[in-house]
Structure 1
Amino acid sequence: MNWFTKTFSSTVGRKIVMSITGLFLCSFLVVHLIGNLQLFKDDGGEAFNIYSHFMATNPIIRTMEIVLVLGFLFHIYDAIVLTRKNKAARPIGYADSRPQENSTWSSRNMGLLGTVILVFLIIHLWNFFVPARFGGLDGVVIENVEYDNLYLKVVQSFDIWWYVAIYVISMVALAYHLIHGFQSAFQSLGLDHKKYTPFIQKFGYAFSVIVCAGFAVIPLYFFFLK
């Protein structure tokens, strides 16, 4: 196990872990967005509340939540370690490196973008996940079955302008984070080829914009139209 520990504690190993956990979290974003699209159904929140109940009670989903949390923790921890290593290796930047010409804005500010996303995640989990899992939500009866009314919580939350602003700004930060991170993940995994890289870059860009725009439209929809 010594070689395993050394490999995945090295810079290359940590980048591989970052890449794998990052791509896994991308798959979670897709699933989460598809579920949240239930909010647009004009049924008073019935479909969304039933979906939320399923996600909260299904044993397979609950197990995957643990995997998801571990994915987040590994991703965040390795990001912090790699950032510190990079700063230690180059405590003073090159004066004439002209980073704006040699790299994208998002690649130079992944730490800032990640911090914005982490702060949003904490607020988001406290506002939605904690009440949904540990109580504090009103009940609603659907076809003679009582469910937690998470839909009402969504409506109330997205009626607050500053929460909507935080949500939308965080989705912009997430989009920039993904635009760089998606392609970088494939590169770290060795899947970098002049024939395929342009497609990966374009797909990553489209994925980042579409998914984050999908999330951002939800609070805007409730704030302005509901």
Structure 2
Amino acid sequence: MSNFSNAFSSTLGKKLVMCLTGLFLCSFLIVHLTGNFQLFKNDDGLAFNQYAHFMTHFTPIKVVSYLLYSSIIIHSVWAIIITLHNRKARPQGYAIKPKDGSIWSSRNMGILGTVLFVFIVVHMSNFWYQYHWGETPYVEYRTDLNTGATITKEIQASEFTDYVSYIDNGVEITKSKDLYKETQFAFQQWWLVAFYVLAMAALAFHLVHGFQSAFQTLGWNHHKYRPLIKFVGFWIFSILIPLGFAAMPLYFFFLK
């Protein structure tokens, strides 16, 4: 046990923890973005509210969620520990900073990580907390299975417990918490939209260094794989994913 704990308390061990939790969070970003694309469907939030219910009630997803929360905390705490360790090892800064060729994001991972941590707290309080314990409104969808037409109306929470979906005389009736409307309301606030866009810019810069650095820590830095890792890290995780997340608040603020 001592050898195991010593391995993870070493500098390399700490970087390995950062690497593994960071890659897990990267995989979560793909899943989360894919699900959140339901927000763009023109169905008054039916698909998104069904997705939100599934994500909060399907047992395997709930287990993964706890792993996600743990990874966020561990990734953040280990980042602080590594930063403090590096400062302790070099208590005095360079009189003249060396030109080591490092990019801006690699030199400011602490600042970018802090912005992202604050963003996660704000995001969780606005949506995750509100969905579970806040005053999220409720909605009813009535879809005619013959024509596909859907009628939407707001309902009272006392009419049912949490989520129900059934068919009655050729009409599919779905009642659920209306996280879609909660999202629409939240993103009518310009300052929150601006903060989300800023946070996604921080995510882009954070990933442009973090994704490639994780594979270097694992030793997967062979010249055959390096171009692919750089391509995926830059175009997928540093460009497309942050743009996808940033498009959501902008969509609600300007078009809804």
* TM superposition score category, shorter chain reference: over 0.9
* CA distance, structure 2, for counterparts of residue 192 and residue 173 of structure 1: 25
Deviation, 1:47, is 0.6
User: Hey, what does 2:123 align to over in structure 1?
Assistant: 124
Once the two structures are superposed, what CA deviation does each residue of 1:80-124 show, in whole Å capped at 9, x if it has no partner? 10000111111222233334x521000000000000001111011
Higher relative contact order (CA 8 A, sep 6+): 1
Contact 1:56–1:133 (8 Å) recurs in 2? no
Please say which structure displays the higher CA radius of gyration.
Answer: 2
> Percent sequence identity over matched residues?
50
Q: How many residues align?
A: 225
> Given the two structures, how large is their TM-score scaled by the length of structure 1?
0.96
* CA distance, structure 2, for counterparts of residue 169 and residue 80 of structure 1: 22
> Given the two structures, how large is their TM-score scaled by the length of structure 2?
0.85
The partner residue of 1:173 within 194, 202, 218 is 202
The structure richer in helix per residue is 1
The partner residue of 2:226 within 191, 197, 207 is 197
User: Hey, what does 2:96 align to over in structure 1?
Assistant: 96
Q: Which amino acid aligns with 1:213?
A: L
The partner residue of 2:252 within 197, 201, 222 is 222
Deviation, 1:201, is 1.5
Once the two structures are superposed, what CA deviation does each residue of 1:49-94 show, in whole Å capped at 9, x if it has no partner? 1111111111111111111111111111110100001111112222
1:159 has 2:188 as partner: yes
Q: Which amino acid aligns with 1:162?
A: W
Cα RMSD over matched residues? Answer: 1.2
> Where do 5+ consecutive residues of structure 1 fail to align?
none
The structure richer in strand per residue is 2
1:28 has 2:28 as partner: yes
Deviation, 1:214, is 0.4
User: Hey, what does 1:212 align to over in structure 2?
Assistant: 242
After the TM superposition, which segments of 4 or more aligned residues of structure 1 sit over 4 Å from their partners?
Answer: none
